[in-house]
Amino acid sequence: MHVTKYNASGNDFIIFHDDKKRDRHALAQALCQRQSGVGADGMVVLVPHPEYDFEWEFYNSDGSEATMCGNATRAVAHYAIEHGISINSNAEFLTGAGVIRVKVNGDYAVTDMLEPKILEKNIEEFGRNWWLIDTGVPHLVTYVKNIENFDLKEARELREKYDANVNLYFVNNEEMQVRTYERGVEDETLACGTGIMASFVRAYSEGEAKETMPVYPKSGEELYVEYDNSSYKFAGKVTKTFEAEVTLDIAKYMY
């Protein structure tokens, strides 16, 4: 089978398109495995849709499905335009969380994110106040003075207790920094778009962030978030890493 590997700010994805929806949980596990497969944080399949450019199937590396992934929206839009699935540098597609629109200019992509939902503001854990925010998937968010202090054990406990991704953020007048522990990957990732947006939503709501801010995830790549006329935008570069023919017994992974 033919696949394309994309990198979006440290989040990496295997992307391909197919003619119909299928159960690909086992295939995602096999392809995302970094030793025996291609290796990725997630797998995205573009399938036809009667109203939009396409619909996506999104799988985490453990084979579980996710409704939304901010970094993947940018990578998938680039892929769709390159393959003629979307035209005129604009992609409009259906995710499990709703319709996403992305504008692509070269290797730079800007996503109109879904409207965030603040679910809870008064969660006290490990001596810090957390907000639970849904930006397509649920995220626990807290402010820290030192972004280097990221306790994986605490993050795993919170992920299990609240069934949510876990984010620490630092913000000053010039920039934001965000670190995220992601469900489905079950570890800290180099970047998480929905986590970055959830962190920005809290920071902006509390008057800590400006309407437009550069954001740096663990990968160190520069991303941008913006609140403009009730719309949340998420922007940054994407890279097509490679295309490859993968030899697998597909029947073994499809059912």
Query: What are the catalytic residues?
Result: 69, 192
Q: How far apart are CA 223 and CA 205, in angstroms?
A: 20
The β-bridge partners of 231 are 228
- Cβ contacts of 204 within 8 Å, gap of 6 or more: 211, 227
Q: How many helices (H) and strands (E) does the chain have?
A: 5, 17
From the list 207, 178, 234, 202, the residue with the least C-alpha distance to 117 is 202
- Up-side HSE of residue 57: CA atoms within 13 Å toward CB? 19
From the list 51, 43, 50, 52, the residue with the least C-alpha distance to 22 is 43
The β-bridge partners of 3 are 244
Name the residue with tokens 């959830």. Answer: 198
Name the residue with tokens 């620490």. Answer: 168
Task: Give the number of other Cβ atoms within 10 Å of residue 68's Cβ.
Answer: 22
